[in-house]
Copies of this chain bind each other. A is one copy, B any other.
Amino acid sequence: MNKDKFKHYKIDEWTVSEVDLDFNYLNKSETLFSQGNGYLSVRGGFEEVYYGEQRNTFVSGVFNTVQGEHEVAELVNIADFTNTEIYVNGERFVMNPYNTKSYKRQMNYQTGELKRTLEWTTRDGIDLSIEFKRFVSLEDKHLLCASVSLLANKPCQITIVKSINGMVTNHGASHFEAGEMKYEAKKIGQFNQTTTQSQVTVSINSISNAYLNSAFVESFPQKTIGRRDLVSKYNFDLEENQELVLETISNVYTDRDLDHEPLNDVGLNQLIEVSNCRYDYFYDLNKIAWQKFWDLHDIRVESNDVIYQLNIRFALYHLRLMTPVHDNRMGIGAKGFTGEDYKGHSFWDTEIFILPFWIMSDPEVARNLLIYRYKLLNSAKEKAQRNGYLGAMYPWESGWITDLECTPEWGNIDVVTNKREPIWTGKKQIHITADIIYAMMQYVKMTGDQGFLDDYGYEMIYETAKFWTSRLEYNQEKDRYEILDVIGPDEYCEHIDNNAFTNYMCYWNIELAVQTFEKVDIKKYGQDSDLEQMKSILKKIYIPASDETGLIAQDDSYLNLSEFPELQRYKFEEKPLAIFKKYSMVHLHDYQVSKQADMVMLMLILKDKFSNQEILRNFDYYEQRTLHDSSLSYSMHAILAGQLNMPYYKDMFEKALEVDLNDDAQIAKTGIHAASIGGIWQNYVFALAGIGYYDGKLSIDPKMIDTIDQITFKLFYKGELLSFKVTERSVDIENLSRQNELEVYIMNKAYTLIESLSIELE
């Protein structure tokens, strides 16, 4: 990838801008320009309504299930309070190619501000300069600030209609009862709504102030309270070349929030207090908060192609946007916080793709995300019980901590068969249970947080190992324990037996339990006999071994299937998932065709278990058969390819980068891919800089690509904040915390890091 691939968007190291009014990019830009802070998010739609738009406003953790046979808990679309409709002499402001020029919309990832400027001409020939700005505050997670500025070349009447519109749904599913609304102080609107099943109350408050040529003018709106909306209409007589600015401060609170209690009028009272404050006041606070974030987390890239710098910042921005750093009762959605798809559910994406960033960037946040999984233990136990197993079987998809398995059992109706496609992942993609434990141990290793193990971790290890012992099936004939009828990471292979990834992870999970409870008293969690049972089972778990060429069977059947005749077409010519225009899932079961990394994933996670020869052989074999139809695929391939100096590396790396941030209007329309975003960060840190963990120590083994000259960044490791500068020929490390000396490996050589190290590579 390079910068020149961008036609519609203009990019620089902090921003993405569109300078063409092209409604084909409406949804794409909504995704790229999403704003939020892990608590509140809005998609980057226009202030005024357009056909085909997908407006979304989310508060993390506000899940609800609507009535209906196939419904599950989903992150709900709350009332829209970004809508701003402007009328000039009665004509509604709506952009089209005939009346709009000098259009520019810019998303600044450094500050989270989205700004639109344009010239608009009314039908009777009045020219207006219009500017919209808004941001979701990183400083105060409840706050969204917006501003619109208008300047006309002739006197005109301006009407600005601000609304809080509760007539919204998740693709037709309405999650709220009609709520209570009110106005205070003649102009502060409050809109409350309560979800129908989970009974969460969301309270939205909003105030607007007007300024003419920068001077405050008192303006009370015409107010309307409808069935499910609240509308404030502001009227102004604008003189020639006079500038009108209407600034709107809105906030959102819920009765699930931890930072206030009870809900009452907390949001309204906040607005009363700050009712005189201007947009820029809040903007400055927000900017400082973002600056703190960047000071710690930015990865600075030196390259002739600015895309590398932008891309990691785009990823870091979204990592912050998607993560509920303020709470530990909710996870990260598979679309981050940028769309309705996957219903806001958390998958293994969080642990395997995203958590590494937080472990090394803000361990406290990583800890919260793991406590979320601890709090889901009850749901996991319930799932195990319902499926006839012991211990804790983690839901494949999770919402709120008390929600049970959130994976729908049926997908949309297939237009060929007229039947709903069964979704087996909720029942069969069981590896997530081990993945969570794996991620937790990564956290513990990198932070040395023994307290976490004591308070949560040991119990999680016990319950998950217990699950695996009950899930394994004893094969009398072969005198071994097997895992039958699962789905591995490669979701094009369903109902398979002895998926290597799953079996290895199961083994790893039980082995961890055995090692743990040989040192820790198991009686706090179970019985001594549990440990004996785990030990005896462990010995006989079937772990697929490699053949003479080093190839390991992905599962019992894969290697016996036919080669997929249209591999080239769907791998190289068509867009991701195009295969389903012709094939349905059951057809794919007949072929050696993979959606995404499965063996590659395994060899990346449990790298120590495999020889380099095995890794190269399996990477080669399976990558050839992988369509990379999952956004989880390229990033993991790239890291492994990088670590093993494979020729695929740079190509995979670039493909991993362009999953979301690209110029294609059709890709990522419904939201970003959270796992891919985490994968981008991992590529910079684990592939380019080659950060790893070897022999109980931090290791650095850079694999820079030729188009990147240098990267610098900071990481936490065992309580020390380290800064890194990596080029193709050198590694510089400094311990900014300087509390303890650290043993590190650089290019497999051991060093002691006291204050700093500066190593020339050969």
**CA A48 – CA B98 in complex, angstroms?**
20
Asked if A225 and B414 sit within 8 Å, CB to CB, the answer is: yes
**CA A184 – CA B418 in complex, angstroms?**
8
**CA A249 – CA B67 in complex, angstroms?**
31
- Which of B51, B90, B180 interacts with A92 by CB under 8 Å? B51
How far does the Cβ of A232 sit from chain B's closest Cβ, in whole Å? 10
**CA A418 – CA B192 in complex, angstroms?**
13
Asked if A169 and B174 sit within 8 Å, CB to CB, the answer is: yes
Asked if A178 and B229 sit within 8 Å, CB to CB, the answer is: no
How far does the Cβ of A758 sit from chain B's closest Cβ, in whole Å? 56
Kindly report which residue of chain B lies nearest to residue A174, judged by CB atoms: B174
**Residues from chain B with Cβ under 8 Å of A182 in the complex:** 413, 418
Asked if A587 is an interface residue, CB under 8 A from chain B, the answer is no
Asked if B178 and A70 sit within 8 Å, CB to CB, the answer is: yes
Asked if A478 is an interface residue, CB under 8 A from chain B, the answer is no
Asked if A99 is an interface residue, CB under 8 A from chain B, the answer is yes
- Which of B51, B69, B123, B228 interacts with A173 by CB under 8 Å? B228
**CA A531 – CA B147 in complex, angstroms?**
73
Asked, given contacts A67-B196, A90-B24, A99-B98, whether A173 binds B174 with beta carbons under 8 Å apart, the answer is: yes
**CA A178 – CA B65 in complex, angstroms?**
12
Chain A 181-216 residues near chain B, CB threshold 8 A: 181-184, 196
Asked, given contacts A178-B68, A178-B70, A418-B183, whether A123 binds B97 with beta carbons under 8 Å apart, the answer is: yes
Asked if A386 is an interface residue, CB under 8 A from chain B, the answer is no
Asked if A525 is an interface residue, CB under 8 A from chain B, the answer is no
Kindly report which residue of chain B lies nearest to residue A165, judged by CB atoms: B172
**CA A68 – CA B23 in complex, angstroms?**
38
- Which of B24, B169, B177, B224 interacts with A167 by CB under 8 Å? B169
**Residues from chain B with Cβ under 8 Å of A223 in the complex:** 415
Asked if B227 and A181 sit within 8 Å, CB to CB, the answer is: no
Asked if A736 is an interface residue, CB under 8 A from chain B, the answer is no
**CA A98 – CA B121 in complex, angstroms?**
12
Asked if A167 and B171 sit within 8 Å, CB to CB, the answer is: yes
Asked if A679 is an interface residue, CB under 8 A from chain B, the answer is no
**CA A69 – CA B171 in complex, angstroms?**
24
Asked, given contacts A94-B51, A99-B98, whether A167 binds B178 with beta carbons under 8 Å apart, the answer is: no
Asked if B415 and A71 sit within 8 Å, CB to CB, the answer is: no
**Residues from chain B with Cβ under 8 Å of A696 in the complex:** none
- Which of B96, B167, B184, B412 interacts with A226 by CB under 8 Å? B412
How far does the Cβ of A92 sit from chain B's closest Cβ, in whole Å? 7
Asked if A356 is an interface residue, CB under 8 A from chain B, the answer is no
**Residues from chain B with Cβ under 8 Å of A690 in the complex:** none
Asked if A1 is an interface residue, CB under 8 A from chain B, the answer is no
Asked if A168 is an interface residue, CB under 8 A from chain B, the answer is yes
Kindly report which residue of chain B lies nearest to residue A178, judged by CB atoms: B68
For A48, A94, A168, the residue with the greatest tally of chain B CB atoms inside 10 Å of its CB is: A94
**Residues from chain B with Cβ under 8 Å of A229 in the complex:** 172
**Residues from chain B with Cβ under 8 Å of A52 in the complex:** 92
**CA A68 – CA B180 in complex, angstroms?**
11
Interface code A213-249, partner B: CB below 8 Å = 1, 0 otherwise? 0000000000111111100000000000000000000
**Residues from chain B with Cβ under 8 Å of A174 in the complex:** 66, 169, 172-174
Chain A 602-659 residues near chain B, CB threshold 8 A: none
How far does the Cβ of A84 sit from chain B's closest Cβ, in whole Å? 13
Asked if A753 is an interface residue, CB under 8 A from chain B, the answer is no
Asked, given contacts A414-B225, A415-B225, whether A68 binds B172 with beta carbons under 8 Å apart, the answer is: no
**Residues from chain B with Cβ under 8 Å of A171 in the complex:** 167, 226-228
Sort A-B residue pairs by CB-CB distance and give the 9 closest, nearest first: A167-B172, A174-B174, A172-B228, A98-B98, A68-B177, A182-B418, A223-B415, A225-B413, A171-B227
* CB-defined A-B contacts under 8 Å, sample of 8: A51-B92, A67-B196, A71-B177, A71-B178, A96-B96, A167-B169, A172-B227, A225-B415
A residues at B contact (CB < 8 Å)? 23-24, 48-52, 66-71, 90, 92, 94, 96-99, 123, 166-169, 171-174, 176-178, 180-184, 196, 223-229, 412-415, 418
